[in-house]
Each structure stands twice: as C-alpha cells, then as structure tokens.
A and B are shown apart, each in its own frame.
Chain A
Amino acid sequence: MRKINKFPELWFLVGGLILLVGVFLADHLLNRYLVHILILMGIYSITTVSLNLTNGYTGLFSLGHAAFMAIGAYTSTLLAFPIALREAYELPLLPSFLGGPEYSWPFFPALVAGGLLASIAALLIGAPVLRLRGHYLSVASLGFMVIVTTFAKTLRGITRGSMGINAIPSYTNIYWTYLWLFISVYVVWRIVNSRFGRAMLAIREDETAAQALGIYPMKYKLLSFAVGAFFAGVAGGLYAHFTKAIRPFEFSFFLTFQIVTMLIIGGMGTTSGPIVGAASLIALRYALKPVEEGLQIYGLIELIYATLLIVIMLWKPEGIMGKRHSRMS
C-alpha cells in the first residue's frame, strides 16, 4: 500500500495505458450498440466528474451544470460545423477573428474553445452567485440555466432558435470521449490533492474557519466553478458531436437532474463515485429500455431513477462509493 501511495502519478500513467488498451479492444471487439453505450457513459462521466468538483468537494450545490454543457455544445458545434453545409442549415459563417468564412475549426480546439467559453461564463455568473450559500446558490444557478437556454432559443441568427442544429458531423468517438474522461479525472484528482483542493474542502466544511485560516473563499469557489464548467463545456461539445443534433430544451432541468442524480448515487466527494454513478445509471437505462417498450410504460426509466435517488438518500446518503463516517458525538 505504502508504495502505491508514494507514486500515484505513476499509477495514473499505468491506468491511462490500461484504459487505452481497453478502449481499443472495446472499439474492435464490441458491436456498435455497445460502443454507443460506452461513449454515452464516458460523456456522462465527464459531466459528473466535473460536477463533483463544485458540488462534492467545494460544497457548492450548483444546479446549473446543463447550462455549461449547452454553452460548450453550441460553441464547438458552431466552430467546427462544415463550411459547405452552413448555408443549407442557415448557420452563420465564422467572423474574421475566429478564422473567417473560409474556415471551420478542427474538433479538438473547438471542444477546448467550448470549455473555455463555459469557464468564462462560470466566472461571470459566479462572481455574484457564489456569494450565496446553500439553497440560495442552487436556485440562483438554476436561474442561470434558464437564461442560457432562453438565449439559445432567441438568438435565432446564431443558434437557429428552438429548431436546434442538425447534421452535426459525428466527430465524437470512443477515443476522444475516454481521452477527455481521463483528462478530467486527472485534473480533478490533482486539484483535490493540492492546496487548491484542500482550500475547497475547507470551504465545504466551514467557510468561516477556512477564512480565519487564511483562505479567501471566493477565489477557490470561482476556481472550482470555472474548472467544473470547463469540463462540462467539453462534455457538451462531445455530446453535440455524438448525437449529431442539439436543441435548446435538451439542456434543461431534466439533464441537470440526471447528472445530479448520477453524482449523488455514485457518491459525492469521492474519486470513483461520479463514474460509477454515471456508468450504472446509463447501464440501467439501456437494460430497462426493452422492458419499457415491452410493457409500453413510457417514463418507467425516469420513475426508477427518481425512486433510486430517494432510496439512496434514505439508506446510503453518502452514495455507492462513499464512506460513512461513524460519528461518536
């Protein structure tokens, strides 16, 4: 054990290589349906891992995560959309500072740009909203999500409004997805194990005490919010180039609810919890799909998600991967 604890960086590298081999094998051995499910698990895992940084480690219970995904999805789509199809789909050509009308961005930088824009939005919205605590923050972040989806609906010249954007090239594959999942897990893990993450934990536990020990809470709240938003933005971009169509209403309360449910069921503030939560709920969804269709009870899956959430909250509030602290006092 000691040895492993001493060089966790090395183990991360080994883990990355094993992941690469796993992804390669999955890509070549599994059928397309299973690969499709794996990609979806990966994308949702990125969102839960990033949400875990703000909600789990920093204790800021934000419900605006879908908004950051929307920003990333729209940004990367608009940047990387093929030039030839732009006119047919009534999408604007790029202005000169983004490369001009003759240019469309490669996938990777487009994803990064989507993430960065989501981060900037997080900083702008975070400065006022993160002053709030507890429920107030949750409700205010929900308001932010409404603002973003409203923009997506009304800025017709850019987003095509509520019709959404179709025929998005399917750039997302299992390699991109799991590369980004690996990056997000690595970044969150590094942050949590440095003084930055310790400051975030301190804020979660007791903001006043944290400040009395020399931590300026706003700085670390913004950092966690912006990093979380970055990966949510990237996940949004991956999602857009996976489903090949995005509409404003997709990035609404329902999506946030799903992500939050996955995080809570997996275990907030744990390393593996978010991935376990995302993967198991997606697996459950696809396992139940035939049942739902066979019984013709549509909405059964959502019903089971919600029930599962209540059950977990009642009997294992720390989530599947969470450790329970036995309190003596």
Chain B
Amino acid sequence: MTYFILEVEDLWKSFGGLTAVSGYQLKLPPDSVYGLIGPNGAGKTTIFNLISGIIKPTRGKIIFKGKDITFWRPDQVVALGLTRTFQNLRLFSSLTVEMNLKIASHLHARCNFWSSLFSFPSFFREEREIKKRVDYILEVFDLVPYREEVSSNLPYGLQRKLDIARALMTKPQLVLLDEPSAGMNTQEAEDLAELIRRIKEEFQLTLIIVEHRMSLVMGLAEVVQVIDYGSVIAMGSPEEVQNDPQVIEAYLGTGDVVA
C-alpha cells in the first residue's frame, strides 16, 4: 500500500444554505507538489481553511500522517507539521521582519515560564538557537537586509516572501500555499517559482498550491486538481488538465452562445 502524507475523504462544508465544498477528495503522496486551480469562488481557500483547521467541516475526514486531524485546532495541526500561508497576507504588520519569524519559532521553544522569567541559562541557549534559525531562514529568502524593517513597510512581493518564510519557521512537512504570487508582476512571479522549487528541495517539503496564475501552477505542480462548485472536476498532469473539455468549460463557459 502506498503511503499518503495527507488524505482527504468526502469533505463537505456548507455555510448556511451555501455549499462551499462538496465531496472534495485528495490523496497526497509525500514529497509531491499538487496544484489546486479553479474559478473564483470555487472553494479552494475554503478547502485550505478546512485542512488547516481554521474552520470545521460539515462532513468528511482529514488524515495527516496517519492521524485523524479533522476536528483539531489549527495550532495542533501545525504542531504535527502542516502549515499554510494566507491569500490576504496575515503578517504581524507592526512588528519587524525578525520578530515575525521569531514568533513563528514558538512551537519549537520549550523554555518554561519560570526559566524565562529569571533568565536561566536554558533561556539564553534557546534564544540563541531561535536566532540561528531566523538567520538561516532570512538567508534562504534573501531577506537579510530587511531584518529590522517593520513588515508592513516591505514592498508587497517581499511581504509574500516573508509570509512563506514565517510558515517555514514552524518546521513543517506539508505547506499549503494560498495564491503565493497574488499581486506580483511577471518577473517577481518567476523568481517566486524558482524560490518555491529551491525551498522544496532544501526543506524537503510537500506542497499544495492554490494559484490563479496558470504559468506558475503549470511550471511547479506535478498534479493539478481543478475545483468547481466545491468538488474536483478534473485531475491530472498540467498538460492533461489544460486540454480537458470540462476544465475549459468551467473557465470559459460552454460553446453555446446565448444571444
């Protein structure tokens, strides 16, 4: 039997009368990059919110690393190694770049309250380790010159990068990237694709990417799922998906012109 790092079975979510996700399925092999595409309002972000535990499903099951995480809190899900970024950038905006990263080291800090209060040697040892990890992440993401900069002062592209960098501070195995190239120009998006490729190798990540920019998804993803009305309407390699008539219909509408 093949091992899947993440299995989603028959996932449903309705908000009042509106069904946002209807029977979504996923079997994600480790070390892979999956793309999630679909028209606006198809339910992609809702699927991410469900998997990361921010909202709870109406029905269905989410299994990560063999554990049923369906009703776990987000912080518990992250602790198991599944983290995400946000489409609408939820940086800690009045804090510095360094602080944003330091905060995200929280999970791996073990120092208890009293040794922090009286600054025992264990406290300093741990703070030094955190700083080392921050230095390393800043290096990987080319953010070293911006260490002391308040994060909301960064140009938009760098804020996106910081968001991914921050997620990696939690030492995840699976990262959900929610529209990582939103608001970037073509050049920035190309650099981002390169960066994602690099960090995937460097940190041995499994990735799911929600993206509107086709070139980015097609270049990165091994398998693409097309979502419409909350369920998978097509799945396959980028080339297969692009030529699927159902996909074309979902994006462009049918050939029948209603005059």
Contact = CB atoms under 8 A, between A and B. Distances in A.
Interface of A: 9, 187, 190-191, 194-196, 198-199, 201-202, 205-206, 208-216, 223, 325-329
Contact of A213 (B93, B123, B170): B170
Contacts of A201: 92, 95, 99, 103
B105 to A, nearest CB: 7
Q: Which of A214, A215, A326 has the most CB of B within 10 A?
A: A214
Contacts of B113: 196, 223
Contacts of A329: 152, 156
Interface string B22-56: 00000000000000000000000000000010100
B153 A325 contact: yes
Interface stretch (B10-18, B73-81, B232-240): B73-81
Contacts of A325: 94, 150, 152-153
Contact of B152 (A198, A209, A210, A327): A327
A208 B92 CA distance: 11
Given A325-B150, A326-B153, 4 more contacts: A195-B106, A199-B106, A213-B83, A214-B78
A329 B95 CA distance: 15
Contact of B86 (A190, A196, A209, A223): A209
Nearest to A210: B103
A195 B109 contact: yes
Interface residues of B, number: 39
A325 B91 CA distance: 15
Given A201-B92, A212-B52, A191 B117 contact: yes
Contact of B92 (A9, A196, A202, A326): A202
25 contacts: A9-B119, A190-B116, A190-B117, A195-B116, A199-B103, A202-B92, A205-B93, A208-B54, A209-B91, A209-B92, A211-B73, A212-B54, A212-B75, A212-B90, A213-B75, A213-B83, A213-B167, A213-B170, A214-B75, A214-B83, A325-B94, A326-B153, A328-B152, A328-B153, A329-B152
Q: Which of A191, A216, A223 has the most CB of B within 10 A?
A: A216
